[in-house]
Structure 1
Amino acid sequence: MPDDETQTPTLNRGGAARTPARLPAPQLTGAAEAPAPWLLRLIAVGLVLAALNLRPAITSLGALLEEVRDGLHMSGSVAGVLTSVPPLCFAVFGVMAPRLARRFGAGAVVCAGMAAIAAGLVIRPYIGSTAGFLAASALALMGIAVSNILMPVIVKRWFPDRVGTMTGLYSMALALGTALAAAVTVPLTSAMGGSWQSGLAVWAVLAALAVLPWIVLVRDRTPAPGTPAPDRSASGQASRPADAPALRITRSRT
């Protein structure tokens, strides 16, 4: 049986053999090209820096909570509300992360999340009111919530062959950031003159550094490395595969 490259000659009216014109080969949708090594290294650095920033906004406040209460004349009930803000923000804003990632790209959302953490950490110590302190804390926690959800997405997207290694790396960085903020916030505050505002705001520097690696991925819309590009309809819109129905979390037994 001839293969696809075999051309079967036919006879024209004069009896001479002629070869039909070769048809153009169909364009196949293949896997995305492998990313450059420098890009993977940059994303790995971004993962570590992002993970380091996922807890200091919470644990640094715990170390200086008494000073914050005295400085803002915060009642015990309001302080109790303040300690409940992190899980509330994780629940409310974490749900938004997958939809935001589909719309803007996971890298862009993480970049915005790091910027929100930096802004919230800078604003909240100097805003001068309890309501403002809570609002700025919520801003930082919003960035933490969406970034926390998207870390595994980034790992599976860019490191499909090293999921375990990269997951362990960012998990270790997350634990390091948690412990570091709890351990050194008070000594840092003392070294900076005993101002609790400076002791809380200093962690914005680490968050600002974490923004830089993610700027490269702000406009990234490419398919994950090693996965087929999505088919597109005549209108140019990506079409959903027939065997991948939309997942409704409320109908999922899991």
Structure 2
Amino acid sequence: MMVGMASEQTRTTTPPTTRTSAVGEHPRTAPRAWDWGTRLLVVGIVLAALNLRPAITSLGALLEEVRDGLGMSGSVAGLLTSVPPLCFAVFGVMAPRLARRFGPGAVVCAGMAAITAGLLLRPYAGGTAGFLAASALALMGIAVSNVLMPVIVKRHFPDRVGTMTGLYSMALALGTSAAAAITVPMTEALGGSWRTGLALWAGLAAAAVLPWLPLARDRGT
């Protein structure tokens, strides 16, 4: 009788066994909240991607007018079309080193500023040499930004790389096609000057500088 009571008391007072998780299993963490800094970074990425091709495709749309306006020979015009891949190769190699020293955000911000300055200066540079130099400045900004954008996406959105890469790619394609499609109509609507038609794209590049200014202060961006 006493043994039975003791056994019953033992069953009653023994705490229930805690179920342990499997070896190596970790609790699932909630995705990181999108604070204002993250949203600003998304806006900056989209605007930067929009500016990675208009400097090239807008010139292609008005190349004949530019040749006539500057008195370019066929050989110089051919040199002009070879400048983009040359700048991509030369300045793109510098991007990782610059990012390690100044931070990716600061380099992209400087890249957007270089695009703005190059696009604004090249129609009014006063000659073929100045036009080529200003184009090279814009292409330098494009080259370093083009290399660093995927790095920034992977660093800040490791759980959304596919989504952010798709958004970035869509913005890049939109900027490419828009510059090719609307540069000539906008030029005609604003009086027909190829200088105005090319300089207009500096406004889009200037808008891209703004979200990167606060991001440039963070060396980790």
Partner of residue 44, structure 1: 42
User: Within the alignment, does 1:90 sit opposite 2:88 as a pair?
Assistant: yes
One-letter code aligned to 1:104: F
Partner of 2:98: 100
Which of 180, 192, 201 is the matching residue for 1:182? 180
Moved more, 213-222 or 192-201: 213-222
Query: 1:221: how far off?
Result: 2.1
What corresponds to 1:109 in structure 2?
107
CA displacement 1:64-101 (0-9 Å, x = unmatched): 00000000000000000000000000000000000000
CA distance in 1, matches of 2:120, 2:174: 22
Pairing 1:131-146 to 2, within 5 Å after superposition: 131-146=129-144
Q: How does 1:59-208 map to 2 (within 5 A)?
A: 59-208=57-206
**TM-score, normalised relative to structure 1:** 0.73
Q: Is the partner of 2:217 in helix, strand or coil?
A: coil
Q: Structure 1: which 5+ runs fail to align?
A: 1-33, 225-254
Computed over aligned residues only, the root mean square deviation of the Cα atoms, in angstroms, reads 1.1
Partners of 2:206 and 2:36 in 1: CA distance: 21
Change (3 A) 1:197 1:90: same
Identity %: 82
Secondary structure class of the residue paired with 2:124: coil
Distance in 1 between residues matched to 2:219 and 2:188, nearest whole Å:
46
Could you list the runs of 4 or more consecutive aligned residues of structure 1 that deviate by over 4 angstroms after TM superposition?
none
After superposition, what is the alpha-carbon deviation per residue over 1:9-28, rounded to whole angstroms, capped at 9, x for unaligned?
xxxxxxxxxxxxxxxxxxxx
Q: Which has the higher helix share?
A: 2
In structure 2, give the amino acid aligned to 1:105. G
Q: How far apart are 1:35 and its partner, in Å?
A: 7.8
In 2 relative to 1, CA 78–183 (structure 1 residues): closer, same or farther, beyond 3 Å?
Answer: same
Structure 2 gap segments, 5+ residues each: 1-31
